[in-house]
Structure 1
């Protein structure tokens, strides 16, 4: 009955969280020699996630660490960004771009949270008969 109560927003929230993690890693490693800036194509990842929504890995115990593949996150392929101004030390992070993307993705994440909160509020009202 409640299997798909959040619709696409559940998958979107997970992917947005993953992307924010990648952008954070990029910012933290902005001065690391030979570090390659990573990202994910949200649109492609969301399509893949919705197509594979019946299959997922499960963490069976709270003490287990979540697996994070080097080539994918939650089924989303990690892509390496080509910089407009590559650094001499091989680092491809462009901090201004990463900060801009982080801000935009944070706003999108908060919008997704708001959709989910509104959905939960609607379900609560329905249970109370309002």
Structure 2
């Protein structure tokens, strides 16, 4: 959805990141007692880079200008955390950390939704002529 700026598109990508993070956290919580399960996490850097690759464009108005191209991200978005083991059965899910991440992600999601609502309210105000 591209209305008047890239703001709504960027907010949409941020909501996609939050949704992916929510899925990873919920998988970790649901597999807290599964033997040899390795916790999953979302790599913010690769999601951010793919968003930049898709939303930033530049036009060259002179041949002397530098080429502007985003470098495509080759990193995986969802990664497994294999560096720790909290339980005797090989599982590395820390329930307290997952619950804290869940709360943080919920706050992030709510802030994004408020921002999207603000953008649409601004558009409605403009369409109505400021009334």
Q: Could you say which TM-score interval applies, normalised by the shorter chain?
A: 0.7 to 0.9
Deviation at 1:49, TM superposition (A): 2.3
For residues 125 and 113 of structure 2, the distance between their equivalents in structure 1, rounded to whole angstroms, comes to 18
Larger displacement relative to structure 2 (19-28 or 34-43): 34-43
Aligned residues of 1:11 and 1:50 also touching (Cα < 8 A): no
Distance apart, 1:8 and its partner CA: 1.4
| 1:88-99 map, 5 Å | 88-99=88-99
Give 1:2's aligned residue. 3
Q: Distance in 2 between matches of 1:27 and 1:116?
A: 29
Q: Structure 2 length as normaliser, TM-score?
A: 0.74
Return 5+ residue gaps in structure 1 as ranges: 55-74
- 1:124 match: 124
In 1, the alpha carbon distance for the partners of 2:55 and 2:14 equals 12
For 1:117 and 1:94, how far apart are their aligned partners in 2? 34
Alpha carbon RMSD of aligned pairs, Å? 2.2
Moved more, 12-21 or 43-52: 43-52
Number of matched pairs: 110
Structure 2: unaligned runs, 5 residues or longer: 57-74
Query: Bigger shift: 30-39 or 4-13?
Result: 4-13
Tell me the SS of whatever aligns to 2:3. coil
CA distance in 2, matches of 1:121, 1:43: 31
Where does residue 87 of structure 1 map in the other structure? 87
Matches within 5 A, 1:1-130: 2=3, 4=6, 6-53=8-55, 77-82=77-82, 84-130=84-130
Which structure has the greater CA radius of gyration? Answer: 2
TM-score normalised according to structure 1 size: 0.74
Dislocated runs of 4+, deviation >6 Å: none
Deviation at 1:78, TM superposition (A): 1.0
SS at match of 1:52: helix
